[in-house]
Structure formats: structure tokens, C-alpha cells
Structure 1
Amino acid sequence: MNLTNLSTKDIAVLLSSPQVSENLLTALQIDERKTVKRLLSHYKNEQAEKKRLHNLYKYEYHFHAQGLKYIAGVDEAGRGPLAGPVIAAAVILPLGCYIPKLNDSKKLSAAAREKIYQQILDQAIAISRSFIDEKTIDRINIYQASMNAMYNAIYDLPTVPQEVLIDATPLDDLEIPHLSIIKGDAKSASIAAASIVAKVERDRLMIQYDRQYPQYGFSQHKGYGTKQHVIALTKYGPCPLHRRSFEPIKSMLSD
């Protein structure tokens, strides 16, 4: 295939078509134009990302093949921090919808999470959230609070799921067919989406709390037990947002 008469704009159009021939890709490999090389590199990266995302839907495709349409993913954020709530999110995505870079929220930068979060909101069939505050966490413990948040998020979905994919935590009392997946936020698109929604919304809430209690640096560490946070706790003592059942706060209060 001779590409010498084609402009880079023409080539870009060819690469954006649903079917790209092997002959075209072979010809592009030997084209010396820098712009063409960039176009080819972008195309290869995009194809690799589409393949990765296709694999990320493997659980969803499995249940879809059984005749199920509405498959939810659920995850939580905020189990480990010393302050603030734990938040769970449940998300139902259209099967195979293309959200570039969708992944476990912990593997993404804050800027990437914000961008993907908006795409999830734009494309999801249904989303719900549940917030369990620090006082309830102290009263019932963080594990139970996290489970309650996930139960609430699932049952609050405006579209009733036919299957629920859960990140790790077994929800034995869930009255909907479900599957708990270890490290599910890196293995299921639906759980990954839920992890991003929960993480972004909790981070935003902690940034708001930072304005109320600026001495603790909540906007930076989001309530986690960083050195900066522990130093602030030692200097100022806990505020109403701190979890009294967590160390070192529990020991501070007993002293």
C-alpha cells in the first residue's frame, strides 16, 4: 500500500474507522513522517487500552451471557483514616462502555480520578452512595460500618441490580445474587467505577472539612494517619471529625 499521496489528516481518518486493515498498519510502520509515527503510536495505545478495558468487563460479560442486564459494582473508601466518614458507592455501567483509564482508584492520580469520575456520572445507568459518619464508626466499628455503607448503597440504587460484584468484603445478608472478588477494584469495571465514585466524593468532603478545621490538613491527607496529621493531633487534640476508637486518638483521650 502506497501512502505517499495521503496527507496525515487522511491517515487519521483511516485510523479512526471501525476496521483498520493490516495492510494499512504495515504501510504506516515504514512511513518516515513524524506526524504519522505519532498517529500510529496513538492508535496502538488506544487499541491496547480498549483490550485492557474489555478484559476489565470479564465478570460483567460472564453474567450478561446468563441473561442479566443490570450488574452493579460496589466498593468503599475511607476504612483506614483517623477522621471523617466511610463512603460506599454502587454503580451500574452499560455493558462494555468505554471509559479510558478506568481502573482501581488507588492506581490513579487525583486529576485522573476526577476526569474519570465525570465520565462515570455521564455514562452510568445508576449510581448511589452511602455515608457512615465517624460517630457511628466509633459505635459499631469500622468493619461493620463499611459493610452497612455497602448494603445501603446497593439497596439505594434507583435501578435494581440482578447481580452485584463486591470488592472483597462478603455481604452474606445481601438479598440479591452477588459475588465477592478479592482485589475486585482492579478486576471488574463496575467495582472500579464504584471505587472512583467513593474515593472522589470522600476526598471532596474532606477538602470541605479542611475549611472548617484548617489546622489538621485534611485537604492534603484526607484524614489518613500521616506524620503531618499525627503532629497536628498531638498539638491540637482531636476535633469532632476524629474517630475516637482509632489509635492514637483512643490513647490520647484516655490519657
Structure 2
Amino acid sequence: MKNESIQDIKKALKEITSPSDERITLWKSDQRSGVKQALSQWEKQRIRTENELKRYEEMKQFEKAAYRNGHRLIAGIDEVGRGPLAGPVVAAAVILPDNCTLLGVNDSKKLSTKKRDELYNQIQDQAISIGLGVVSQKIIDEVNIYQATKIAMGKALEDLSFVPDYLLIDAMKLEVNIPQESIIKGDARSISIAAASIIAKVTRDRLMEDYAKRYPGYGFENNAGYGTKEHLLGLENLGICPIHRKTFAPIKNM
């Protein structure tokens, strides 16, 4: 193996998961800088993966407890879009199978756009059922954002293909006849809620990108309706548009 090229070693490292593999010991005695660098990168990636697996198992704690109590269809529910000045609030409900693998799943706000899109596709592929609830800015103005969020979550629940027997909800309680658990910061603590947060976030961002084409000048494709400098400048120059929330400052004062 002394004559192995650095490229061959890099290729082999992609298939190795255990630090006790005898090839790792052999390559550590290789003095070539390219080999040392490849081993260093492999070790960092191995530790990242190990930590991610540990975190993933921790994020299954609420689901595992529900399974132990006899529940089988556990829906995680979360919303996105409480704070923006424009656009709807979007909620998602996600039922995942017990054996799903979604490494990297987390609170959608902590993920890059690329990672969210990757996980969005994985969740779509693996989920037993996904429900969506979209509540317009008009309803938000009529009932307030808190009530609109509950309506969106209810719609997402109704949109599921199966009736869940247990709900894990991010910091909310719903008036439904289904056992439920409200979890503070649930989108970072439960895989089901985190999955719902990703589905809701990607769905809403794509809606806002479509709105950006209909109502240019506010930067909706970049800010998703939040009050960024670009958005506030657009409000100053163009005034409000049909998807702005009229009960939110500074719009309500305009």
C-alpha cells in the first residue's frame, strides 16, 4: 500500500467510518503532506458525523417517549412567519416513521438555504404524511398573529392524510381532541417539529419569492417579508402593497 496515490487514499477514506480500520493506522505513518491533510479532514468529518448522530438521537427523545406510551402516528407542528411585515403565516404538520434518518435536521432558522432545501426533499421522501396551513395577511390583520398562527396550525393538522394520535407542537397548544405536548424551542429539540419547521420555512420562502415577482421593489425574494433595510426603503418609496400586514408597525402608521 506504500505506492498508493493520495487520490486513491482520499477515495478509500470516503468508505471508511471506523478509526480502528487498519488502513488508518498505516496511512498515519505516511509522511506526505497530502495524506496528512486527507486524514485530518477525514477525522474532522468523522467527529462531526458522530456529534450529529448523538444530537439526532437526543432530538428523538419526545418521539420515543410517545412511542413508549403506545402512540404511533406522532405529528410535529410548527409555523413560520409570525414576525414579517408582509405575506402569510405558514404552518406545517409532519408525521415521520419511527425508522427515519434525517441527519442535520434542526430549527430551520439555523440552517443554510441549501441545507434546508436538501432536508425539505428528504422529509418529503420519508414522511408518512405532511400537512400545510397557510393564513393570509388579511386574516392576520383581522384576528391578530397569535390567533392566525393557531388557525394555520389547525389547517396543517387537517391537511394530513392520517389523523395523528399524538401532537408535538412548538410552544403552542391547540384546541383539538388529540393528546399533545407543547415544547419550548421544540424546533431545535424534536425531529418531528424541526421537520415541520423546515417544510413551513421552505414553503413560505418560495411563496415570498413568487410575491417578489408580482410586487417588485421590496426585496421579498431576499427578506421573505421581514423588515430589512431594503424592505423599509421599498415601503418608503412605493408605499404598501396588497400583501402587507396593515396592523404591523410601521405600516399601520403609514
Partner of 1:158: 161
Residues 234/69 of structure 1: CA separation in 2 closer, same or farther (3 Å cut): same
Q: Distance in 2 between matches of 1:135 and 1:37?
A: 55
Superposed CA RMSD in Å reads 2.3
- The structure 2 residue matched to 1:170, chosen from 170, 173, 182, is 173
The aligned residue for residue 129 of structure 2 is 126
Structure 1 residues 30 and 67 mapped into 2: Cα distance closer, same or farther (>3 Å)? Answer: farther
Tell me, what secondary structure is at the counterpart of 2:72?
coil
Measured in 1, the distance between the counterparts of 2:237 and 2:14 equals 59
Distance in 2 between residues matched to 1:45 and 1:182, nearest whole Å: 26
Whole-angstrom CA distance in 2 between matches of 1:71 and 1:183: 18
For the pair 1:241 / 2:243, whether they are aligned, the reply is: yes
Structure 1, unpaired ranges of 5+: none
Cα distance, 1:150 vs structure 2: 0.5
- Change in Cα spacing, 1:12 to 1:221, as seen in structure 2 (3 Å) is closer
- Give the % identical residues: 47
Given the superposition, is the C-alpha separation of residues 240 and 21 from structure 1 closer, same or farther in structure 2, using an over 3 Å criterion? closer
- Cα distance in 2 for residues equivalent to 1:93 and 1:230: 39
After superposition, the Cα gap between the structure-2 partners of 1:28 and 1:97, relative to the gap in structure 1 and judged at 3 Å, is farther
Distance 1:87 1:212, change over 3 A: same
Paired residue secondary structure (1:243):
coil
Q: Is the 8 A contact 2:173 2:180 kept in 1?
A: no
Cα distance change of structure 1 residues 43 and 246 upon mapping to structure 2, 3 Å threshold: same
* Aligned residue among 224, 227, 232 for 1:225: 227
Structure 1's 215 and 25: CA in aligned 2 closer, same or farther, altered over 3 A?
same
Deviation at 1:4, TM superposition (A): 7.5
Code of the residue aligned with 1:204 in structure 2: it is R
TM-score (norm 1): 0.87
Mark the CA change 1:148 to 1:26 in structure 2 (over 3 Å): closer, same or farther: same
Distance 1:90 1:5 in 2: 55
Q: What is the deviation of 1:45?
A: 2.3
Q: TM-score, normalised by structure 2?
A: 0.88
1:168 is aligned with what amino acid?
A
Residues 94 and 127 in structure 2, CA contact (< 8 A), matched pair in contact too: yes
For structure 2, the residue ranges without an aligned partner over 5 or more in a row are none
Distance 1:207 1:4, change over 3 A: same
Q: Secondary structure at the match of 2:246?
A: coil
1:168/1:180 contact within 8 Å kept:
yes
How many residue pairs match? The answer is 245
Q: Report how far residue 244 of structure 1 moved.
A: 1.0
Instruction: Name whichever of 174-183 and 95-104 sits farther off.
Output: 95-104
Give CA deviations for 1:197-250 in whole Å, capped at 9, x if unaligned.
Answer: 000010000000000111111111111111221121121111111111111111
Give me the whole-angstrom Cα distance separating, in 1, the residues matched to 2:134 and 2:145: 12
What is the alpha-carbon distance in structure 1 between the residues aligned to residue 156 and residue 26 of structure 2?
Answer: 49
In 1: Cα distance, 2:149 partner to 2:40 partner: 49
Q: What letter corresponds to residue 245 of structure 2 in structure 1?
A: R
Q: 1:5 to 1:200 in 2, by over 3 A?
A: same
Give the match's secondary structure for 1:215.
Answer: coil
Aligned pair 1:147/2:157, yes or no?
A: no
Distance 1:147 1:89, change over 3 A: same
**Measured at CA, do residues 162 and 10 of structure 1 come closer, stay the same or move farther in structure 2, by a change above 3 Å?**
same
Q: Could you say if the C-alpha distance between residues 109 and 5 of structure 1 is closer, same or farther in structure 2, counting changes exceeding 3 Å?
A: same
